[in-house]
Amino acid sequence: MQDELGDVSRDYHQLLRRGSVARRLPVSQHEAWRRAIRAQARTDEFKVRTWSRPEDARVFAVLSDWSLSPEERARLARRLEWLRED
């Protein structure tokens, strides 16, 4: 059980960093994962949307109000420009 909590905690930190997270889990664990992510988001007063795709054995979470900061947006634009040069 402790290992599962650690996985949810890591997933939640990724959600905060990236604005979204996906994990491959047995379908029987999807609902528990979704509840745990939503509970942590509620504690931090974030709105989060979760869903699962049983056919792919994947669960997803997205922060509703997430967007890139101006610095991140500029860094992404530079990376995309660099990729287009090739």
- Any idea where the domains of the chain sit in the sequence? 2-85
- The values of phi and psi at residue 77, to 5°, are -60, -40
Query: How long, in residues, is the chain?
Result: 86
Q: What is the distance between the alpha carbons of residues 70 and 58, in angstroms, rounded to a whole number?
A: 31
CATH 3.30.1370 fits 2-85, yes or no: yes
At 2 the pLDDT is: 43
Q: For every residue of the chain, which 3-state class applies, written as one string?
A: CHHHHHHHHHHHHHHHHHCEEEEECCHHHHHHHHHHHHHHHHHCCCCEEEEEECCCCEEEEEECCCCCCHHHHHHHHHHHHHHHHC
At 47 the pLDDT is: 87
Q: What is the pLDDT of residues 3-58, one digit of tens each?
A: 555 689 999 999 988 888 999 999 999 999 999 999 999 998 888 999 999 998 99
